[in-house]
């Protein structure tokens, strides 16, 4: 890096190398020199005599600077012009005023723009040469179009783009950028207008060190800075020191003020030969810069610069409106996404699943890299997030260190050194406590900012001078900045934190509503269950009494019908005998139905006799009992594998097996029936899908019979339901499966069937292991 040295014939001001660590202390407002495209005179406020002159007056006027000291303006201007200039002195301020003057003693370049202002107890007169025939740059129709284009922009990004487009069209610079400052004073190129053959800078970020604090302070005071030739040789002031102070004059508001050599070196490293910068100021704060670059030296008139400044000030004045529009658009996005999410959550049976199973998800509400839903021990992740183990550790930290319901940080590692491992995905956190369990949170993540943006110059190599000093380049400034902002994400905006809090409140209200509804439903269900139990008991009692009382008269009808057939058959014709036989048959069926009803009612009324039971022995006993019938119907039964031992009512389980085996013998049309009894694989669960499969043993009875159409799988368990005519497959009342299922349900199990016509049937029944 070269040395920032003010070259002066009298005395040097500075003679120390400017480095990355001290360039922010460089006194750039008192360089003691000017850019040589014009010349500068400073007059004493009281005498109006020249006390400073830039050294280049000899090249431009033919008068050495020292010869001008102590002289009045009469040496340069005619009396009429002197009077005109002096007439401005009484009301001069920091704000510049412009006059056109003619210097007759300079025959080759007599016409100048004179820029006047008062500052630091001096009257400043800056002369810029112009041509007499120069046309005015004030094109009102074009300016009207420019302002109209800017006014119609609907976002800050579009507003920035319209502004740089118009400034480039006015000035002809090769490139015009809109550079926006972040909270940490780093910046981003948010809009660009350029020659097509130039490399784009749009989206590049620059560290805060590239524009040090004192430079930003000058940009606040001086709205426009112009450098027509980056390779200029500064023209020192003569003398260099202020008449009443041991320092150079303060050139904060001087148009010709010489620029920091550090900045010039930076521009040369970027390949820029000319530049103009317009400040964008909002409510006294430097929001950004509109920067113009040209690859060759470029001198544009003061009036054109003033027109660009007008565009810049107009941009600054309208910026707040465009920002409000952007904020409103983002806030509207949050509100609309929140509303859709809340509606989705309210409709979902499991309200937490409504946060992530459908679009929008909870991640979509807030601009972030990823999100995690941590609820009742489960962790659901969306987008780019830390690992599950890292989130578990984060949850533990939140439980131990965060007391509020909403927590946000753009640098987790500043709170917890363990956050260093999370910076790629979670340098920033926004977390809300769901207040159900201590570990229930929704967390939004933002990655480290260094890893998510493109920093200008990251790939450039540093250059070294012969004296060992380094050039100030984008690469070096990036490295210096990087050390100060590692482990930091983009900050959380207040409206984002507020939105997270609203999500928390909505979920809390919804959960409370669900709890209240569940409690109300539980109370209603408890009352209905009590009424149902009482009703079932009354129904069982009625069925038992009615069936018991019906059996006696029915038996009388049956017996008298037999007596009539035995004693009076010869006195009746064939039709009468047939009717009596039908009466006997119907009374027998009625008795069977009543007996089945009695048996079903007994199942519900009788207490179970629970004891340790070997189901293998139960199966053997049932097969011995049914052996004659099995031989008659040519049916073989095999027991596959050992059957378990568990606590149950031995008699009831025998009846269940007997019923299923009886059905298997009846409902087949093969020459030989084959039936298998076995234990279903672990994990088998019935169609209700309730309970833990590990809490049940599931047995099955499988046959090679006629099968059952799936549409009848539920109806076959209804009492007195038969799928075939009374005279087919051995008859029966159709109560067996209803009774068997009720016995199984008394054991806290369930019974179901899997079957298709012609492929046999498999009946399953589960028995609890914990009776």
- 3-state helix vs strand vs coil in the chain, percent to 5: 45, 20, 35
Q: What DSSP character marks residue 508? A: H
Predicted confidence (pLDDT) at residue 676 exceeds the cutoff of 90: yes
Per-residue pLDDT of 436-481, as tens digits, reads 556 789 999 999 876 566 666 553 333 433 343 334 444 444 444 4
Determine the Cα–Cα distance for residues 421 and 427; give it in Å rounded to an integer: 9
Q: Which CATH superfamily is domain 350-453 in?
A: PHY domain (3.30.450.270)
Contact, 260 vs 31, CB < 8 A?
A: yes
Interior CA angle at 92 toward 90 and 93, to 5°?
135
Q: Average of pLDDT values for 423-442?
A: 84
Rounded distance, CA 333 to CA 327, Å? 10
Q: Taking the mean position of all CA atoms in its chain, how far away is CA 251?
A: 49
DSSP state of 245: S
R_g over Cα of the chain = 49
> Where exactly does CATH 3.30.450.270 map onto the chain?
350-453
Distance between CA atoms of 303 and 98, rounded to whole angstroms? 9
Report pLDDT digits (tens) over 64-111. Answer: 999 999 999 999 999 999 999 999 999 999 888 888 888 887 777 788
Of the candidate ranges 33-37, 125-129, 203-207, 561-565, the one whose mean pLDDT is the lowest = 561-565
3-state secondary structure 134-151: CCCCCCHHHHHHHHHHHH
What is the tens place of the pLDDT at every residue in 513-532?
666 666 667 777 777 777 77
**pLDDT band at 430, cuts 50/70/90?**
very high
* Separation CA 373–CA 367 (nearest Å): 16
CA distance 400 to 375: 17
The C-alpha angle with vertex 228 and arms to 36 and 196, in degrees rounded to 5, equals 165
Q: Per this entry, what is the length of the chain?
A: 771
Task: Give Cα 501 distance to the centre of its chain.
Answer: 15
pTM of the model: 0.56
Q: Could you tell me the pLDDT band of residue 33, with boundaries at 50, 70 and 90?
A: very high
- Tell me the β-bridge partners of 636: 674
Q: Which pLDDT score, from 0 to 100, does residue 134 have?
A: 46
Question: Per-residue pLDDT for 151 more than 70?
Answer: yes
**Quick one: pLDDT band at residue 161, thresholds 50, 70, 90?**
very high
Q: What is the distance between the alpha carbons of residues 346 and 660, in angstroms, rounded to a whole number?
A: 46
Q: Is the torsion defined by CA of 556, 559, 565, 567 positive or negative?
A: negative
Residues 6+ apart with CB under 8 A from 455: 204, 205, 206, 207, 478, 481, 482
From-to residues of CATH 3.30.450.40 in the chain: 142-230+272-299+307-347
pLDDT band at 8 (very low <50, low <70, confident <90, very high): very low
Instruction: Name which of 271, 273, 269, 291 is nearest 187 in CA terms.
Output: 291
- Digit-coded pLDDT (tens) for 534-586: 766 665 666 566 555 666 676 667 676 777 777 777 777 888 777 777 776 66
Per CATH, domain 142-230+272-299+307-347 is 3.30.450.40? yes
What are the two backbone dihedrals, phi and then psi, of residue 530, each rounded to the nearest 5 degrees?
Answer: -65, -45
Name the token pair of 141.
């129709």
Any idea which fold 33-129 has?
Answer: Beta-Lactamase (3.30.450)
The rounded distance, in Å, linking the Cα atoms of 767 and 689 is 14
Q: What is the pairing mode between strands 175-181 and 187-194?
A: antiparallel
For domain 608-768, the CATH architecture is: 2-Layer Sandwich (3.30)
How far apart are the C-alpha atoms of 719 and 737, rounded to whole Å?
A: 8
Give the per-residue pLDDT at 740: 86
For residues 227 and 329, the model is more confident at: 227
What is the C-alpha to C-alpha distance for residues 112 and 126, in angstroms, rounded to an integer? 9
Fold category of 517-604 in CATH: Helix Hairpins (1.10.287)
pLDDT-derived band at 302, boundaries 50, 70, 90: confident
Q: How many CB atoms lie within 10 A of CB 21?
A: 9
CATH 3.30.565.10 maps onto the chain at 608-768
């Amino acid at each position: 890096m070269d040395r920032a040295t003010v070259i002066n014939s009298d005395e040097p001001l500075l003679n120390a190398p400017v480095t990355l660590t001290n360039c922010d202390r460089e006194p750039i407002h008192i360089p003691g020199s000017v850019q040589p495209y014009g010349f500068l005179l400073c007059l004493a406020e009281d005498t109006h005599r020249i006390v400073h002159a830039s050294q280049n007056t000899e090249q431009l006027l033919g008068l050495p600077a020292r010869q001008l000291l102590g002289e009045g303006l009469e040496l340069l201007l005619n009396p009429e012009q002197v009077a005109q200039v002096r007439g401005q002195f009484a009301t001069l301020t920091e704000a510049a005023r412009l006059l056109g003057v003619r210097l007759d003693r300079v025959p080759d370049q007599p016409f100048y723009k004179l820029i006047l202002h008062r500052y630091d107890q001096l009257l400043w007169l800056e002369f810029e040469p112009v041509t007499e025939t120069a046309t005015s740059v004030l094109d009102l129709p074009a300016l009207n179009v420019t302002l109209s284009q800017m006014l119609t922009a609907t976002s800050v990004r579009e507003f920035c783009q319209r502004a740089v487009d118009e400034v480039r069209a006015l000035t002809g610079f090769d490139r015009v950028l809109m550079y926006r400052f972040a909270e940490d004073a780093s910046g981003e190129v948010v809009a660009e207008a350029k020659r097509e053959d130039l490399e784009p800078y749009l989206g590049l970020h620059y560290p805060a060190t590239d524009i040090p604090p004192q430079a930003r302070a000058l940009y606040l005071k001086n709205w426009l800075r112009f450098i027509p030739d980056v390779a200029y040789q500064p023209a020192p002031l003569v003398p260099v020191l202020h008449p009443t102070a041991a320092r150079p004059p303060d050139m904060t508001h001087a148009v010709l003020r010489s620029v920091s050599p550090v900045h010039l070196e930076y521009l040369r490293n970027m390949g820029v030969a000319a530049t103009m910068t317009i400040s964008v100021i909002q409510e006294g704060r430097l929001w950004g810069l509109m920067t113009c670059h040209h690859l060759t030296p470029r001198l544009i008139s003061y009036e054109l610069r003033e027109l660009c400044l007008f565009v810049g000030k107009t941009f600054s004045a309208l910026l707040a409106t465009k920002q409000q529009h952007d904020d409103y658009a983002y806030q509207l996005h949050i509100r609309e996404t929140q509303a859709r999410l809340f509606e989705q959550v309210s409709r979902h049976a499991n309200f937490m699943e409504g946060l992530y199973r459908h679009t929008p998800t909870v991640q979509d509400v807030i601009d972030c890299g990823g999100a995690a839903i941590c609820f009742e021990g489960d962790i659901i992740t969306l987008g780019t997030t830390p690992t599950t183990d890292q989130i578990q550790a984060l949850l533990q930290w939140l439980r131990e260190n965060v007391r509020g319901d909403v927590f946000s940080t753009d640098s987790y590692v500043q709170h917890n050194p363990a956050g260093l491992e999370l910076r790629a995905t979670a340098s920033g956190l926004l977390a809300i406590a769901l207040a159900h369990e201590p570990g229930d949170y929704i967390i939004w993540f933002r990655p480290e900012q260094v890893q998510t943006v493109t920093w200008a110059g990251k790939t450039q190599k540093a250059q070294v001078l012969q004296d060992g000093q380094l050039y100030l380049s984008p690469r070096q400034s990036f490295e210096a900045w990087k050390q100060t902002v590692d482990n930091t994400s983009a900050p959380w905006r207040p409206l984002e934190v507020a939105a997270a809090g609203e999500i928390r409140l909505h979920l809390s209200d919804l959960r409370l509503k669900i709890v209240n509804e569940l409690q109300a439903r539980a109370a209603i269900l408890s009352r209905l269950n009590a009424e149902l139990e009482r009703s079932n008991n009354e129904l069982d009692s009625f069925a038992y009494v009615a069936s018991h009382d019906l059996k006696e008269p029915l038996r009388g009808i049956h017996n008298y019908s037999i007596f009539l057939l035995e004693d009076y058959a010869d006195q009746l014709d064939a039709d009468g005998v047939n009717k009596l036989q039908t009466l006997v048959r119907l009374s027998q069926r009625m008795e069977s139905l009543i007996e089945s009803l009695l048996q079903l009612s007994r199942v519900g009324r009788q207490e179970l006799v629970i004891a340790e039971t070997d189901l293998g022995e139960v199966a053997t006993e049932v097969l011995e009992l049914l052996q004659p019938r099995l031989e008659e119907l040519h049916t073989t039964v095999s027991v596959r594998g050992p059957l378990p031992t568990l606590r149950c009512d031995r008699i009831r389980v025998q009846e269940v097996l007997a019923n299923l085996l009886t059905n298997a013998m009846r409902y087949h049309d093969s020459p030989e029936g084959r039936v298998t009894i076995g234990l279903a694989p672990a994990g088998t669960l019935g169609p209700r899908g309730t309970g833990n499969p590990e809490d049940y043993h599931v047995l099955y009875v499988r046959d090679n019979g006629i099968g059952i159409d799936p549409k009848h799988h539920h109806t076959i368990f209804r009492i007195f339901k038969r799928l075939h005519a009374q005279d087919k497959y051995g008859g029966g009342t159709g109560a067996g499966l209803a009774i068997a299922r009720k016995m199984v349900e008394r054991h806290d199990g369930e019974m179901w069937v899997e079957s298709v016509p012609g492929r046999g049937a498999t009946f399953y029944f589960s028995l609890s292991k914990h009776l």
